[in-house]
Amino acid sequence: MKTTVSSKGQIVLPAELRQRDRIEPGQEFEVERIEPGEYRLVRRTPRPNQGLVAWLLDCPDKGFFVPIESESTDTL
């Protein structure tokens, strides 16, 4: 497949590849220079639960997540 570098230095992955590999906007990639003119592009795997806190804070039902009372571990 063929693609072009834009004036901003951006490279667009062809739609067929994005669909086949389920690449979503905002996903991050590592670019490795193998040798002059040859590069390797690898999708970064997000850490487990990355973005979870922001997602919970954006919960539309405010007050749904409330702190619970618990004993101190010092008394166990």
What is the tens place of the pLDDT at every residue in 26-73? 889 999 999 999 999 999 886 777 777 777 777 766 666 666 777 777
**Entry pTM:** 0.52
Query: How is the chain split into domains, by residue range?
Result: 15-65
Where would I find the H helices in 1-76? 15-20, 52-57
* Amino acid present at 75: T
Alpha-carbon distance of 42 to 45, in angstroms, equals 9
Residue 16, C-beta contacts closer than 8 angstroms, at least 6 positions apart:
1
Q: Name the residue among 24, 29, 50, 53 with its Cα closest to residue 39.
A: 29
CA dihedral angle for residue 67, residue 47, residue 20, residue 6, rounded to 10 degrees: 110
